Chains A and B, each alone.
Chain A
Amino acid sequence: MKIDVNNITMIYPSGKKALQDISVSAESPEFIGVLGPNGAGKTTLMKLLIAGLLPTKGEILLNDKPLLEQEKQLKAQLGYLPQSFGLYDELTVWEFLDYMAALKGLRGKNSKAAIEKVLECTNMAEQRKVRIRNLSGGQRQRVGIAQALLGEPKLIILDEPTVGLDPEERVKFRNIFSEMAQNKIVLLSTHIVEDVQAVCNRVFVIYNGQLLYDGSPSKLVAKTTGHVGVYLSKLGDDTPEGCQIVSKVNVSEGIQCRIVAESLPEFATAVAPTLEDAYLYCIHKEGRE
């Protein structure tokens, strides 16, 4: 599968510019993490990719053909988990997945096997007969993930999939996503940079509707070398000019601040960057420009 996004601009009727002239392409297998602050345009990009929105400008190609002409093919190969979604509360977990499996065209034994598989993956096997209205928030999220993974779709788009899950489950799921990405395109939008670092071979950084970075996480990290530092600060000290604080840690000598900056202040000691540092540096740099 191949997706090409060519010079996409998306302006909502309210006038809000959600995406500006974005061009990316992806070909399976690929596990792409999409990073960006709230309102950056991540969800808009996802909706455009599932043909839930029409771009104001530009075009999206699926296997070299316009996406709108390929809607049927897209739907047949898509596993999608939106940020917020509803389920049929009166159905049991099994009935709901059975319904979604049928919508995806899975039948008979294939359907049952597929449902069993995603139930196991999402750790919902024991809740198969529980009505959805009786599930906790985390369990509902897992049902959402399960339906997205049903039938091994070739394109998986996950918008904040691990919201509401505990850390252990989050790690488990990111590993599952990683396994599933063997011969697929997986697009994972998340705020948790660690997840991206752990499993994605590629990362998009989006800020204010613009694509700031498209490449491997390691390259993003490498680009940040020399721009991340630490220093000891006291309570009430201002943030040094041109710097953005990544984290503050209370230590016995005071507060250890970790910063990113185009040029580090003299009192800061350069340290090896992480992906989170790199991401923040990327955003920080763009904000300054």
Chain B
Amino acid sequence: MKLISLYRVELRRLLLSKGVWLVAVLSLCAPLLGYSLYPSIWMESMTGDYIGNPVLAGTTVGAVFWAVLAMKESNRVYRNNTSVLTDAIASPLSLSTARVIAMMTISMLVTCVCSVIYLPYTMVKMEYLFQADFYFANFLVFMLPTWWISILLAESFYQLSSRMEIAVILYILLVCLSLMGVTSSGYFEKWINPMVIAFSDGFVTWWPLRMGLYTRVTWLCIAIGAWCISLLAIRKYQKGLLLSVGIGLKKVSVLVGAIVFVVLGVLLWVKQPFIDHGPDEWILEDEMVWSSGTISEAHYTIETHPRTGTITAKAEYEVKRPYDGEAELLLNPGYDIKSITYDGEEIAFWTSDEHVDGHRATYFEVPGGSKNGGKLLTVEYSGFPTLAKVMAWFSVQDVVDEEYILLGGETLFPMTEYYSIGKSFLEITIPDDLTPYLDHVPMTEYLDNQDGTRTWSSECSVYVRDFSAAKYEMATFMAGDTEVKFSYSEVYHDAVEEIGAVQAVKDVLEYCTAHYGKYDWIDKNSLILLQKGAIVTGGYAHKGVSTWFESVLSPSTLADAEKGASATDVFIHEMVHQWWGDLGLQCEDDGLWSCEGLTVYTTYRIAKERYGELYAKQYYVDQWQAAVDAQNRNFYNRHPEYFELLPETYQARIRMTNEGTNKYMRMPLVILKAQELVGGEDAMDEILREMYACRSHYGFNYGYEAFSYDDFLKFCGLTKEELNLD
């Protein structure tokens, strides 16, 4: 009988099984775990919270359900002795194949239903940040293939062992391998819990999905290969494992399929283009190389290919004096150097397997050395930028995507310490709807290529830390005597308008500069405030530039009532963190005292200026007092002996509430009390100004010390007892 007929039969039978329906319903519920209990993406964003986490939780937990079903369905046929009837009229191999394909079909239907069920809630929660294609792609890339992989592996284990308990043990071991990761390439081992670093709301990159799809295809090949091998091991003529395999080997097509898929899976794993293949240990180049070679000018021409995520590039160096001997070029390990020419003639080069500072080193020697100067050295290279192994767990550093490009350092052009470089110029071609920033400064000159791309050019430094391009909008305005360029993703256009973000930035800059001192990163009366994508960890500030986390404009952040009375106030709160926290004065966090208290207090003061005393009292002071009173009234806070008797989850919940109240409500009240005791608002402003002036001691520098509550008391000349609210 043809396989397709058997498939129809099995599909119909499985759809009549209550077990299948139970697994379907449980799998549909599994994404719920992602909202709170099993969040996989630790960097917060709306896309991560409402798409990534539910899909990944559903992927992992659902995969276990489908595996259990697969093993149970295989086992019951033999345990119930139904196989003696079915095997007599159909080939067990064909029946097994039909059963697996039928199960995969049902899991596909469940994936579709799942994506539809969660759609309305996700759309409502994500508001304008919802992207339908990204939403459905998550289900197709993560959930469906992982469920298939799980079914195939579970079925393979059962068919190989013919014992339910052994199959379950093997499956659990493989799940543990995935959850724990035992090798340095652990991100690839995560077959059941795909690794996603972050999803960005405004700077949408498909990079995590590309990597997800690649790992899924890799594991799918391995799983199909394993399943084909297990088909060969299906017990025939009441023989044991080895004799059955011996008989099964006569099925040449299955054998060939097994070999092809296993080899393909291994090749895909070994050749994966996302994470650096270099050794776990880098060579750290701590010795300074004497740059005896001289390059008068360097021209870098880079073409980005967002569809493939690759670049092709050319670095041209006007060599004034070549380096005597073998010089080193460092490039992203994902790139291949096509050629190195000197004065139009190709010269020999070799690439090392070792990684210097995490980058692959290529060595070349200019013929004639220092005596053969005044000619053009050209390096042509291309490829898909890989992530450094150590970074792969928590950050995407380099990405070329249709809506977001991020390249820097040796991922942009080769670096060398063997040559000193006079001037450098960068020409980079990107999609015409992206706005580029070179070291966080907007590029201005471009040539429209009339093919959907623009070529931007600019002089650049010898080491470009960060080239980024996205669909940015920029608001330029004056705050006092400073020209501010406030850049944010165009996705947040309406939010920026709605909350009056531009005016808020202006107000905060003016207020804080006037009351506490000039913002550190203003340079020559100019400041660029640049919003960065959530996929990039860490902030950045330098003269004239300060970057913001993407979440500052996220609806979930702006809805945080603890930080401010309205979305605008919350935004102001986040902006004030530039003085207290983030890149300003760093405060110790002792559960009560932290930068949050200072920031909420300043937000209150700005609100008082913007909206008047009544507003500030009603929406800030009264709210703080009410929260502190409620905290004081709480039975368990008054009777710690009963608190200790509560279950751990309830204790944790109360502790969390208390911590929030202490930082965001009690501490501003304490500062307000300190304000009264030191002589009013002006006196407190003076104290805060003095505190801020000490930020170099308490700010980020080597061996910095956080500003503590005791420090605050010293500045105020007060004691803890005087500021006691109880």
Cα distance A50–B406 in the bound complex, in angstroms: 66
Q: Which residues of B contact A52 (CB under 8 A)?
A: 84, 87-88, 237-238
A86 pairs with B12, CB closer than 8 A: no
The reply to whether the CB of A104 lies closer than 8 angstroms to some CB of chain B is yes
Within 8 A of A (CB), among B1-57: 1, 5-6, 8-9, 12-13, 16-19
Residue of B nearest to A89 (CB): B80
A86 pairs with B82, CB closer than 8 A: yes
A90 pairs with B16, CB closer than 8 A: yes
The reply to whether the CB of A37 lies closer than 8 angstroms to some CB of chain B is no
Given A86-B80, A105-B1, A105-B5: A53 and B237 interface contact (C-beta under 8 Å): yes
User: Which of B1, B9, B19, B237 is in CB contact (< 8 Å) with A54?
Assistant: B237
Residue of A nearest to B1 (CB): A105
The reply to whether the CB of A279 lies closer than 8 angstroms to some CB of chain B is no
A83-105 interface mask toward B, CB cutoff 8 Å, 1 = contact, 0 = none? 01111111100010001101111
The reply to whether the CB of A80 lies closer than 8 angstroms to some CB of chain B is yes
A85 pairs with B9, CB closer than 8 A: no
The reply to whether the CB of A234 lies closer than 8 angstroms to some CB of chain B is no
Give min CB distance, B6 to chain A, whole Å: 7
Within 8 A of A (CB), among B678-702: none
The reply to whether the CB of A58 lies closer than 8 angstroms to some CB of chain B is no
Give min CB distance, B409 to chain A, whole Å: 62
The reply to whether the CB of B116 lies closer than 8 angstroms to some CB of chain A is no
A103 pairs with B90, CB closer than 8 A: yes
B237 pairs with A88, CB closer than 8 A: no
User: Which of A53, A99, A147 is in CB contact (< 8 Å) with B13?
Assistant: A99
The reply to whether the CB of A243 lies closer than 8 angstroms to some CB of chain B is no
A90 pairs with B237, CB closer than 8 A: no
A75 pairs with B12, CB closer than 8 A: no
Residue of A nearest to B85 (CB): A85
Residue of A nearest to B83 (CB): A86
Q: Which residues of A contact B18 (CB under 8 A)?
A: 90
Cα distance A88–B5 in the bound complex, in angstroms: 19
Within 8 A of B (CB), among A48-68: 50-54
Residue of B nearest to A12 (CB): B238
The reply to whether the CB of A265 lies closer than 8 angstroms to some CB of chain B is no
Cα distance A13–B79 in the bound complex, in angstroms: 22
Given A52-B237, A52-B238: A102 and B8 interface contact (C-beta under 8 Å): yes
The reply to whether the CB of B89 lies closer than 8 angstroms to some CB of chain A is yes
Q: Which residues of B contact A95 (CB under 8 A)?
A: 13, 16
Cα distance A248–B9 in the bound complex, in angstroms: 54
Cα distance A84–B85 in the bound complex, in angstroms: 10
User: Which of B6, B79, B82 is in CB contact (< 8 Å) with A88?
Assistant: B82
The reply to whether the CB of B724 lies closer than 8 angstroms to some CB of chain A is no
Give min CB distance, B82 to chain A, whole Å: 4
The reply to whether the CB of A78 lies closer than 8 angstroms to some CB of chain B is yes
The reply to whether the CB of A164 lies closer than 8 angstroms to some CB of chain B is no
Q: Which residues of A contact B458 (CB under 8 A)?
A: none
The reply to whether the CB of B253 lies closer than 8 angstroms to some CB of chain A is no
B88 pairs with A99, CB closer than 8 A: no
Within 8 A of A (CB), among B196-246: 237-240
Give min CB distance, B494 to chain A, whole Å: 54
A-B contact pairs, 10 of them (CB 8 A): A50-B88, A71-B91, A72-B91, A76-B1, A80-B88, A87-B85, A88-B82, A102-B5, A102-B8, A103-B1
Q: Taking beta carbons and an 8 Å cutoff, which residues of A are in contact with B? A: 13, 47, 50-54, 71-72, 75-76, 78, 80, 82, 84-91, 95, 99-100, 102-105, 144, 147
Q: Taking beta carbons and an 8 Å cutoff, which residues of B are in contact with A? A: 1, 5-6, 8-9, 12-13, 16-19, 79-82, 84-91, 95, 237-240
The 4 closest A-B pairs by CB, nearest first: A86-B80, A86-B81, A102-B9, A80-B88
